[in-house]
Amino acid sequence: MNDDSKVKGFYKNSLAHALNPRSFQLVLFPTEQCNFRCVYCYEDFEIGKMPEWVVSAIKIFLENKIPTLDRLSLSWFGGEPLLATRTIYEIAEFAQKIASINNCQIVGDVTTNGYLLDLKTLTRFAELKQNDFQISIDGDQLGHDKTRIKQNGSGTFKQIWDNLITAAESELEFKIKLRVHISDLNQKSVLVFLERYDNSILSGDHRFRLFFHEIVNLGGDQEVINSLSGMQTASQMVKSLNRRYEKQAVNMNKNGNYICYAGKPNSLAIRADGNLNKCTVALSDERNNIGKINPDGTLTINNQKFSTWIKGFTTLDSWQMGCPLSYMNQHSSVGDIEIKKVS
């Protein structure tokens, strides 16, 4: 694609896709509980599993929405979504049924810690086409088990690695993006992990990709965050590893400037309690509480708050489009709110 197809660094087709009313991304929190207690986590785990009335409301919403779509993307978030696989299966199976009647394509992705992604679970997700996974790794076992720990404080690396190897030995169709977290303190451990990765069955498997990302301050324990990122050395290592693994690493800007899902008009998140969000990070930020789903499947949306998240499409500012939350923290405020009920 040549530069003529770009507008202010954004590819025109990426902008068109983000504005396409016949394409929709629905982020769902089947539970907001988690079996991990990662030391830098920003979530409070106050909300539990999605109740039946929310599941029923989502199914009604999808029954009404899917006939208007060519493509539906379901994104599963948490907490740890695999603690609520029955909820995921129920919604995904229902969506597949409605989509097949209406000639709508369905894809799905799952943000998971990978601990519960055994072969049986992976197989069911593959059958439902909810088979694009992101799993975080904090270096090799010694480093990972210091930061990504279970509720009881025990390590998690071995179980995750065993699940990855089992997945690679299968013939299932899936994608797994390993989000390798880099901090000021774990860089030697990351290199040990990459040696393990390079010498494993995963390295030559096109279903696996690496995604290098420095630890950033998304909330949580500020003392811990500062100890991991205060020296600001991680970003340089991310750049170095992106060059080293150019053919295997995910590049968020390979299709022009990145557009965050939270800034797209055709993307919406439904929390486990039925509240509507745009962003999966600012969960306790009132600006992110943009409405709710009703028992009859309609949405009550706070229009001015919603508009604040998607203002980047009026400016095409790369910061505003790439991370509306951080841009809003520096530039935006929300005033009087208009409430509207929509189907």
Predicted confidence (pLDDT) per residue in 212-226, tens digit = 998 876 566 666 666
| 303 part of a folded domain | no
Which domain range does residue 286 map to? 3-298
Residue of 248, 257, 253, 293 whose CA lies nearest to 273: 293
| DSSP bridge pairs for 10 | 7, 256
CA atoms within 13 A on the CB side of 42: 12
For residue 131, give both structure tokens. 């088979």
CA angle 153, 190, 221 (to 5 degrees): 45
CA atoms within 13 A on the CB side of 310: 17
Q: What is the CATH number of the domain that holds 291?
A: 3.20.20.70
Q: How many domains does the chain have?
A: 1
| 311 part of a folded domain | no
| 234 part of a folded domain | yes
- Confidence at residue 188, expressed as pLDDT on a 0 to 100 scale: 95
Buried b (16+ CB within 10 A) or exposed e, 49-80: bbeeebbebbbbbbbebbeebebbbbbbbbbb
Confidence of residue 25 (pLDDT cuts 50, 70, 90): very high
User: What pLDDT digit, counting tens, does each position of 239-296 carry?
Assistant: 899 999 988 888 766 668 999 999 999 999 999 999 999 999 999 999 999 999 999 9
Q: Whole-prediction pTM value?
A: 0.91
| 116 part of a folded domain | yes
Q: How many helices (H) and strands (E) does the chain have?
A: 13, 13
Give the other-Cβ count within 10 Å of 152's Cβ.
7
- Confidence at residue 220, expressed as pLDDT on a 0 to 100 scale: 64
Average pLDDT of span 44-69: 97
- Confidence at residue 58, expressed as pLDDT on a 0 to 100 scale: 98
What is the three-class DSSP state of 217?
coil
What is the three-class DSSP state of 99?
helix
| DSSP bridge pairs for 27 | 75, 269
- Confidence at residue 338, expressed as pLDDT on a 0 to 100 scale: 40
**Does 79 sit behind a cis peptide bond, omega within 30 degrees of 0 on the bond before it?**
yes
Which phi and psi angles does 51 have, rounded to 5°? -75, 165
Provide the mean pLDDT of the chain.
91
Q: In what order do the strands lie in the sheet with 105-112?
A: 208-214, 175-182, 132-137, 105-112, 71-76, 23-28, 267-270, 275-277, 291-293, 299-302, 339-342
Task: Fill in the amino acid letter for 192.
Answer: V
Q: Are strands 105-112 and 208-214 parallel, antiparallel or unpaired?
A: unpaired
Average pLDDT of span 5-24: 94
For residue 92, give both structure tokens. 């995904």
Average pLDDT of span 222-236: 67
Question: Distance (Å, rounded) from C-alpha 213 to C-alpha 238?
Answer: 6
98 near 66, Cβ under 8 Å?
Answer: yes
In this structure, of 1-10, 119-128, 210-219, the range with the lowest mean pLDDT score is: 1-10
In this predicted structure, the answer to whether residue 339 has a pLDDT above a threshold of 80 is no
In this predicted structure, the answer to whether residue 301 has a pLDDT above a threshold of 70 is yes
Task: Fill in the amino acid letter for 204.
Answer: G
- Confidence at residue 202, expressed as pLDDT on a 0 to 100 scale: 98
Confidence of residue 340 (pLDDT cuts 50, 70, 90): very low
| 328 part of a folded domain | no
Average pLDDT of span 17-39: 97
| 310 part of a folded domain | no
336 near 307, Cβ under 8 Å?
Answer: no
In this predicted structure, the answer to whether residue 88 has a pLDDT above a threshold of 80 is yes
| 307 part of a folded domain | no
For residue 50, give both structure tokens. 């999605």
| DSSP bridge pairs for 24 | 72
| 343 part of a folded domain | no
In this predicted structure, the answer to whether residue 72 has a pLDDT above a threshold of 70 is yes
Length of the chain: 343
In this structure, of 34-38, 145-149, 247-251, 334-338, the range with the lowest mean pLDDT score is: 334-338
Residues contacting residue 262 through CB under 8 Å, at least 6 positions apart? 278, 279, 280, 309, 323, 324, 325
Question: Distance (Å, rounded) from C-alpha 221 to C-alpha 80?
Answer: 19
Question: Distance (Å, rounded) from C-alpha 201 to C-alpha 105?
Answer: 31
User: What pLDDT digit, counting tens, does each position of 137-156 carry?
Assistant: 999 999 999 999 999 999 99
